[in-house]
Structure 1
């Protein structure tokens, strides 16, 4: 499973991460940066450290899950 992780800094200096499962195939850095800019500009999320003020990084994490046993 792939997860897009977008990391922002808030006004209090802490990092805030938003994780989205199954991002579209072929998503580009430019597309992600545009979305992150929109999130900052529209101030759509509240954090305990204040407003989101800047982008830190974005990554796609690819995880393989193997079930060892199930009850």
Structure 2
């Protein structure tokens, strides 16, 4: 099972996505929003579309892989 937290931001010239592998199960929407706001305010990341301007959305993506044993 692979789980990632996908953070989407409005950037200077479009949108930007950041993914975090294996996020904590106990994350709250407020914690995610606060972290995203801090990333924007700190100008810590620059994407192909420029600096991050504001948080847009966030989601957790959970993928499960099951091998099939062929006869």
TM range (shorter): 0.7 to 0.9
* Structure 1 residue aligned with 2:51: 51
Shift of 1:15: 1.4
* Structure 1 residue aligned with 2:32: 32
Flag structure 1 segments of 5+ consecutive residues without an equivalent.
Answer: none
Q: How many residues align?
A: 68
Shift of 1:26: 1.3
Matched, 1:10 2:28: no
TM-score by length of 2: 0.86
